[in-house]
Amino acid sequence: MTTNRRLLAALRSPLGVLAVLACAALAFLAIFGPVLWGEQAAATNTALISQPPSPEHVFGTDGSGRDILLRTLVAARLSVTMALAATAVGVVSGVLVGLLPLVLGGRVGRWIVAGINIGVAFPGLLLAIAFSVILGQSGVAASLAIAIAMMPNYGRLTHNLAASVWGRDYVSAALVLGIPKRVIVFRHVLPNVRDPLIVNAAITAGGTLVSFAGLSFLGLGVQVPQYDWGRMLNEGVARIFVTPAAALVPGIAIILAGLTFVLLGEVLGKALTPEGTRSLSARALRSLMPTRRGAEAQRHAGAAGAVGAAQPAVDTVLSVRDLRVSAPQAGGTLKPLVEGVSFDIARGEIVGVVGESGSGKSLTLMSVAGLVEAPLHVSAAAAHFDGESLTLSEHGHPASLNHHLGQRLAMVFQDPMSSLNPAIHVGDQVAETGLLHLDMSRAGAKAAAIERLTDVRIPDPERRYGQYPHEYSGGMRQRAMIAAGLMGTPSLILADEPTTALDVTVQAGILELLKRINEAEGTAIMFVSHDIAVVTSLCTRVIVMYRGKLVEDITADDLRAGNAAHPYTRALMATVPTMDSPRGEPMASIPDDADFSGTSPIGVIEELVPTTEAIRQLDFEGPTR
């Protein structure tokens, strides 16, 4: 069900009708109350001081002979507008503070997160009272004090929600395209965390109204001759045993107005969240809870880097020398994740990267694209891409490279659903490169995007342009990601297990598409996969990685012919079933206790029976003959 349909259904429910009527009544009082009854409410009459309820004065009069009901109705404007103003300022400021760590990154980002966490530790009302005393006794000062007290909670909520989105593949793809972080935050991150923020803001408005009334009750808010519900409550409490209505009527108004905003939040929660039947309080608490992914994103901020050295050969599109990636450990030491990896990729070449999970395949690709973030450390003796030195800093690739990488480098991620922003039309995401790097008009970028969608065989591309990712199949989403990369003239496509999440039929279509792009455009492809059969059928050369090291660089023909030199490569090949594999025996696998460290890529095994026991008997500590 779409958002509009959910909103219509929520408004038609009894709760929705009640919320609409209550909001309409509150808005009417705030807008027209002072106009209709302002003069009558301000008129004093010493002959009617503290009168009980009567037909002329439904709830009686106060200590100055003024009608309590009319004063309560007129006070709605100041009470509601001040509460809404404080909520707007607090929410907007908190959202901006929560997004700053993603934009700034590094140490500054971590300090901001630490400041947010410290602010959350203090009770909000206590902070509001403290800042109200500092800023002075007035309605504006009280609103500003409440907004400041609200900022840490919304900063924490926003950062936790945004951190979960920041790790998605479509954000990484935007970083590869060279889109500035501030643009990514507002275009890709904020739309995906907008709904829970709106829902919580509606609920917070009710709490803000109560807080503002509380400050006025304490004498820190609205001052005479102005009055709001809190000021009326302060005046009425002193005479509660003489005229109870002077305190009870504004108190009831505060409660009803607060409940109105809570009802509005419940209706918006059902309309904006698919989990509409789940309680709003549970969703809010879950959003405020720091998740493991969010904690990781708080620590991650920028990229560390590589220094260019000697220029590679002219026909080399990517050249990397001595790439190293390490992670900090307790005691200040660094644990190596990728050690001394060096390779070249020529133009028009398809290079496969294989190895078990954790061998450093994806980490190598992410390092080349500048997507490895702190606290990981990246360094290289030299790194060149398409004639440019990939000189990195702690903030990633320099801005001067963004334009070049955005046109000449494309990246296809493993999960096609997370590769595209679910809040933006697929066509707009495909066209983004044209708008950002190719100086196209919006109409020209749309036309080019439709052409690229046609090139990757998306059916009915004009209609599909305006659809959302959830309306695409898995294979179509992966093709759309490839189409986005083809908006420029990519010299290299980094494909990080692009077929793992797809069925074999769709997988074959994606592989055929990559092969066609390689042959037609001469685009080099670096293809990461666990499927050696796919790699040997698609690639011209294969890089084998084991425990963060490149242990073998071999042509696909030699690999298929069984000419691998390293025992780990031969063990990987032995696990691939063939038509000649014995049907009565278990399929081969590499034992968990196998250790290939310390081997040298020398020697060729003459014959290898594809069984687990045969792999176990390989001499992993030296060449096998």
Mean pLDDT of 476-497: 84
* Domain range 316-561, CATH class: alpha beta
Q: Which residues pair with 341 in a beta bridge?
A: 323
Mean pLDDT of 219-242: 90
pLDDT band per the 50, 70, 90 thresholds, residue 310: very low
Say how far apart CA 480 and CA 469 lie, in whole Å.
Answer: 9
What's 498's DSSP letter? T
Give residue 617's pLDDT: 47
Dihedral angle at the C-alpha atoms of 469, 475, 476, 477, nearest 10 degrees? 30
Beta-carbon contacts of residue 582 (< 8 Å; ≥ 6 apart): none
Beta-carbon contacts of residue 494 (< 8 Å; ≥ 6 apart): 365, 368, 369, 409, 410, 411, 412, 526
Residues 179-209 pLDDT 10s: 888 888 888 888 888 888 988 999 999 999 9
Give residue 291's pLDDT: 36
* CB-CB neighbours of 617 under 10 Å: 12
Mean pLDDT of 369-383: 81
Residue 97: how many CA atoms within 13 Å on its side-chain side?
Answer: 24
With a cut of 60, say whether residue 593 has pLDDT above it: no
Mean pLDDT of 167-189: 81
Handedness of CA 124, 130, 132, 135 (dihedral sign): negative
- Whether pTM > 0.75 for this model: the answer is no
Residues 70-102 pLDDT 10s: 999 999 999 999 999 999 999 999 999 999 998
Give residue limits of the domains in the chain: 3-19+76-231+258-296, 316-561
Give residue 288's pLDDT: 35
Q: What are phi and psi of 530, to 5 degrees?
A: -90, -15
Give residue 14's pLDDT: 87
**H/E run at residue 579:** none
Beta strand 549-555 with 541-546 is antiparallel
* Domain range 3-19+76-231+258-296, CATH class: mainly alpha
Say how far apart CA 610 and CA 487 lie, in whole Å.
Answer: 44
Residues 377-391 pLDDT 10s: 888 888 888 877 776
For residue 219, is it left (φ>0), alpha (ψ between -120 and 50) or beta?
left
Residues 389-448 pLDDT 10s: 776 544 455 555 666 666 788 888 777 677 788 888 888 888 888 887 778 888 998 999
For residue 355, is it left (φ>0), alpha (ψ between -120 and 50) or beta?
left
Do 3-19+76-231+258-296 and 316-561 fold alike per CATH? Answer: no
